[in-house]
Homo-oligomer: A and B are copies of this chain.
Amino acid sequence: MGDAIITLTTDFGNESPYVAAMKGVILGINPSARLVDLSHLIPPQDLRYTAWFLAASIPYFAPEVIHVIVVDPGVGTDRALLYVEANPHRLLVPDNGCWTVLGRALAQPPKVIRLTEGQYWRHPVSATFHGRDILAPAAAHLSLGLTPEELGPATTDWIRLETPTPTFGPDSIVGEVVFVDRFGNLMTNIPGEALSRLPPPLQFKVGNQAVTRRVRTYAEAEPETPVALVSSEGMLEIAVTAGNAARRLQAGIGSRVEARLVPGD
């Protein structure tokens, strides 16, 4: 066993001193904590992106890792700050629903605690940076072995984030692009296993553009051909081998994506 691991995910960018301040606060309380940056380039205050990012990264970590997420459009309102144990990961997060996607497939409901015990906070608590003043010190104290229940009372009341879900018809599934990666690959919200319940062959569209080729991996397609495949996360992905699908298909986050039975087949 190594020292406790704390990951950081924020929308602060890498130019600002905000992430540095959080790191200082955590290491000031637990100098043995090992910090792991996940991303500080979440688009500012974008909860849907955060939800998607967490779903695509947190499950790869062991349950004992502590994850601090600071995407907090409600800072300064009376929104709560939460400790969450979900599926079975441990998060410290503002109560804005960005984490609830992690609890979806859960055998037992998540344990959620409202952070109310000020002795585990940094004082004075600012009105605009609760990541530094509440979430970071709470994470550090947990990493030292504090029982979560010491942080405040359990609650069953929290914000659920509605994220767009695909529409399943008898001969089609309609979803949307939720992420465009650095290679221009389009990640959608359509599960790969849903595709496999429609009888092949399928045809695909991104916006008005047809994607006729379906492959298992990029390498099966000719360069510059748009293809549909199941992503490394198990979701429908649209890619262009040796090219950029987002540019080629003029698509981005929110673009409509359709999978449909080939008529007559």
A residues neighboring B (CB under 8 Å): 1-3, 5, 7, 9, 11-25, 27-28, 30-42, 44-45, 53, 56-62, 64-65, 73-77, 126-129, 132-133, 179, 181-183, 216-220, 229-232, 237, 242
Contact = CB atoms under 8 A, between A and B. Distances in A.
B57 A21 contact: yes
Contact of A15 (B30, B41, B74, B132): B41
Given A27-B5, A33-B2, A14 B14 contact: yes
B217 A182 contact: no
A133 B98 CA distance: 26
A7 B22 CA distance: 13
B182 A60 contact: no
Contacts of A56: 17, 20-21
A73 B216 CA distance: 16
A181 B14 CA distance: 10
A17 to B, nearest CB: 4
B27 A41 contact: no
Give how many copies assemble into the complex: 3
Majority DSSP secondary structure for residues of A touching B = loop
A126 B232 contact: yes
A32 to B, nearest CB: 3
Given A5-B31, A76-B217, 18 more contacts: A2-B32, A7-B23, A13-B181, A15-B41, A15-B42, A20-B38, A21-B60, A24-B60, A24-B61, A27-B36, A27-B62, A27-B65, A28-B60, A31-B64, A37-B37, A73-B242, A76-B219, A128-B229
Contact of A28 (B22, B40, B61, B242): B61
Contact of A132 (B3, B219, B232): B232
A38 B77 CA distance: 29
Contact of A20 (B28, B31, B57, B64): B57
Contacts of A64: 31
A56 B12 CA distance: 14
A182 B11 contact: yes
B27 A128 contact: no
A44 B75 contact: no
